[in-house]
Amino acid sequence: MMDLSLQEKDYKGIFKYFYEISAIPRGSGNEKGISDYLVSFAKKHNLEYMQDEAYNVIMIKPATPGYEKEPAIILQGHMDMVCEKVKDYSHDFLKDGIKIIVDGDYLRADQTTLGADNGIAIAYILAMFTDESLPHPRLEAVITTDEEVGMHGAKALDLSNLQGKYMINLDSEEEGYLLCSCAGGLTGTSTLPLKRVTEYGRKLKINIGGLQGGHSGIDIGKNRTNATLLLARLLFDLRELCSFALVDMRGGFKDNVIPREAEAILLLPACDKAGLAELYAKAEGFIKELMEKYRRELSSSEPGLQYQLTDLGDDSCEVIDSYSFEKLLFMLTFIPNGVQTMSADIEGLVESSLNIGIFRTEADRAELYSSIRSSKSSYKYYVSNKLAYLTAFLGGDYQRRWEYPAWEFRKDSKLREHFQRISKEMYGKEMKVEAIHAGLECGLISEKMPHLDIVSIGPDMHDVHTVEERLSISSTLRVYKLLERVVSEKIGA
């Protein structure tokens, strides 16, 4: 149930709809429920709609009197969300809705991602499509699936029946900014073969957590530490101090999220129990010294860094053999993670990057899932090819998948000018025109409808794709009121 204080602030039902959306599990790949909800909404309000096999939903609201000859406007967002939660929290993203907490001017979730990326877009659209007092041209809502894991919904879209000349993407995360270009991207999967041998010793589990994490596009230039790579550094340093074998290692849950947690299980080999006890004590001391060193190094950028050591007892188990381990550690030490190039055209913009989002060891292989982004197609492929070369050099296999194009800047834009004029009138200043290093569906949609004049806007959100995600209530209201005027005033009039 919506908090009473939020009910009093609600405008046109924006937060009412956001709560309804948040009650429906809608992680990427689990969107049938939210898609059917949108179809039910369309039927209830007598709207023309289409639901395709990918569960994308298109809804159309006819122009109000006097706007029949005005160009149609597309409102666009995605229905899926990134599902992250605090370690060991019992939330089941396949069954449970998001528990929303009102915290001052912000909405946040109880130990999970909030899903304002991009649930607030849906809430905006539903509020606007039920507002009978708002004059507007033909409105076409395009709400897609699987945006967070490769934009598969946008790839499957059939837009042949749409009439839109302008499109407003609602998947941005900072008020006052008018996005007009975005990076293209792809997911690269590296697989390294592993051989295992049986050894006896004491098992030690290492957990690293408390890092900031974040969006692999928006936050990649903010000096966030990748938990998987920090753990790999620990193993790299530890190998010079004591003997151990690697049983298992994993970190991250999404390729487009900077991992905030990682863990490894080590085996400390020895011939007898007395030797094991002594070896464990030494290894524990070395690990504590190394982690304290990392804490000092990262005290400004990662003040929440934590670690935990757990004694799992004596055991005989399958460990990764030394040759496989050295290749794996080489991969994690030299992979080109993070910012690769900065833009020479737009100050402060990351042009190209790579993020290791998921890493895990299995019985016979190690898998790495990397998100590669660039506003220049040629450099995107160069980074991908470097990763492929490194993988092949170490005897592994590499696959390129989940690719999407960049959205290129349009020099002349009536829609951009329209936003700027209204923003100046309403809030006393023009919006800042920017490009973004994150991927938006605008690139795919503009490929299908090259004539479209597109911009992207959104309210203030922070720490998206993390359990710290939060949405500003006041910003949400201001951006919606701006959107109302943009839609209700004739473009170019």
For residue 265, CA distances in Å to 201, 243, 250, 279, 303 come to 12, 14, 9, 15, 25
- Residue 274 and residue 207 share a domain: yes
Other beta carbons within 10 Å of 195: 12
Residue 274: per-residue pLDDT: 67
Closest CA to 294 of 335, 235, 217: 235
CATH number at 389 reads 3.30.70.360
Residues carrying an active site annotation: 80, 147
Q: Of 382, 404, 426, at which residue does a domain stop?
A: 404
Residue 272: per-residue pLDDT: 63
* Any domain includes 429: yes
Closest CA to 77 of 123, 34, 118: 118
| Total number of domains in the chain | 2
For residue 435, CA distances in Å to 21, 158, 330, 337 come to 29, 27, 35, 22
* Any domain includes 264: yes
- Residue 385 and residue 447 share a domain: no
Question: What residue type is assigned to position 22 of the chain?
Answer: S
Residue 323 has pLDDT above 90, yes or no: yes
- Residue 254 and residue 109 share a domain: no
- Residue 192 and residue 217 share a domain: yes
For residue 24, CA distances in Å to 41, 78, 83, 92 come to 14, 14, 13, 12
pTM given for the model? 0.74
- Is residue 118 within 8 A of residue 79, CB to CB? The reply is yes
- Residue 261 and residue 207 share a domain: yes
Give percent above pLDDT 70 in the chain. Answer: 99
- Residue 22 and residue 155 share a domain: yes
* Any domain includes 493: no
The crossing angle, in degrees rounded to 10, of helices 473-488 and 14-22 is: 120
- Residue 359 and residue 214 share a domain: yes
pLDDT tens, residue by residue, 289-310: 999 999 999 999 999 999 999 9
Other beta carbons within 10 Å of 450: 7
What is the rounded CA–CA span in Å between residue 133 and residue 4?
25
- Residue 225 and residue 153 share a domain: no
> Strands 139-144 and 73-78, how do they pair?
parallel
- Is residue 43 within 8 A of residue 113, CB to CB? The reply is no
CATH number at 177 reads 3.40.630.10
* Any domain includes 83: yes
At 279, is the pLDDT very low, low, confident or very high (cuts 50, 70, 90)? Answer: confident
* Any domain includes 440: yes
pLDDT tens, residue by residue, 86-117: 988 999 999 999 999 999 999 999 999 999 99
pLDDT tens, residue by residue, 336-353: 999 999 988 778 889 999
* Any domain includes 178: yes
Q: Of 359, 379, 404, at which residue does a domain stop?
A: 404
- Residue 266 and residue 395 share a domain: yes
For the chain, the farthest-separated pair of C-alpha atoms sits apart, in whole angstroms, at 88
What is the rounded CA–CA span in Å between residue 445 and residue 454?
10
* Any domain includes 307: yes
pLDDT tens, residue by residue, 126-172: 999 999 999 999 999 999 999 998 899 999 999 999 999 999 999 99
- Residue 100 and residue 33 share a domain: yes
According to DSSP, residue 72 is labeled P
Q: Of 385, 404, 423, at which residue does a domain stop?
A: 404
- Residue 310 and residue 457 share a domain: no
* Any domain includes 363: yes
- Residue 268 and residue 126 share a domain: no
- Domain region containing 242: 187-404
pLDDT tens, residue by residue, 24-49: 999 999 999 999 999 999 999 999 99
pLDDT tens, residue by residue, 394-435: 999 999 988 888 898 888 999 999 999 999 999 999 999 998
Other beta carbons within 10 Å of 151: 25
